[in-house]
Amino acid sequence: MLHARSVRLAVLIEELVRVRRSSAPPPRGLPYLGLEHASGTAFHLLDALAARGIFRKYELVLDLGAGLGATSRWLAARLGCEVIGTADDVAEAIAGNGLTRRAGLAARVRVVPAEPAALPVRSASFTHVWAVETLARMPGAEAVFREAHRALRRGGTLALQELAPSNRAPAPAISGYRPASIEQRVAGLRGAGFVEIEVRDRTNEVGEPSAQLLAARAQLLRRLRADPALAPLADERDAIATALATGALRVVQVVARRP
């Protein structure tokens, strides 16, 4: 069921964007209007996340938990680098690669099924490792950090964007999510050998200013709720939006370096 859900979501997103594209072109780097992104946090936050790294066409980024590939496509289209993203399973990877191909980015972006805690990559292969709001879905963050450290070249940058519990409220119960405090994440990064760790709270910047993207997300939510197989995805998105709106979740960015 989970495999089929990824494929159905990709088909639905593509259908919605195809209709809307006739009236307004999508923003650069968001060929599918960011609809793949469950939280709806604005993609302009990624500009800040990328500020510390150097991105050129010969840079190679590993995007952990890329899913259908929204962040991977943003990185390639906006920053010109090459990206390999990890998906939970073969079906999700196929769906993500299909979206990438139709967006004209297949030469620079590839999504592969892989376990982030046991990556099928050579050591020191990547100049950057990213994980955007995906660690809470992964068991064993410490193992993920060790693998990220192994995959990075010396001097490479790790960049995280986390949906982290607020100190003012208990962590919300969202199916499939196991959010951890930023203090825990920083301790895990230090334990894996990362240095120069910087933390920035971006909670006050999460709102999406684009009316085009907001309308598309609202339309997608209506379609998700109308499909029994996809309704759990609507519930997940609603729960995240509520947690962000009430302050139960914060959006925090963390960057670190492999020495």
Task: Indicate yes or no: pTM above 0.75.
Answer: yes
- pLDDT computed for residue 1 by the predictor: 46
The amino acid at residue 241 is: A
| DSSP per position, 209-226 | --HHHHHHHHHHHHHHHH
Reference 106, options 92, 121, 85; nearest CA is 85
Of the candidate ranges 43-47, 95-99, 191-195, the one whose mean pLDDT is the lowest: 43-47
Q: Which of 161, 136, 207 is nearest to 63 (CA)?
A: 161
Beta carbons within 8 Å of 222's beta carbon, 6+ residues apart: none
Query: Judging by DSSP bridges, how do beta strands 126-132 and 60-63 pair with one another?
Result: parallel
**CA–CA dist 57, 19 (Å, integer):** 32
Structure letter (DSSP) for residue 44 = T
**What percent of the chain has a predicted confidence (pLDDT) above 70?**
95
Q: What percent of the chain has pLDDT over 90?
A: 71
Q: Where are the beta strands (DSSP E) in the chain?
A: 60-63, 82-87, 109-113, 126-132, 152-165, 195-201, 249-257
Q: Can you list the domains of the chain with their CATH numbers?
A: 2-257 (3.40.50.150)
Give the number of C-alpha atoms closer than 13 A to the C-alpha of residue 94, restricted to the C-beta side: 10
**Cα radius of gyration rounded to whole Å, the chain:** 17
Q: pLDDT tens for residues 55-78?
A: 666 689 999 999 999 999 999 999
Q: Compute the average pLDDT of residues 12-37.
A: 89
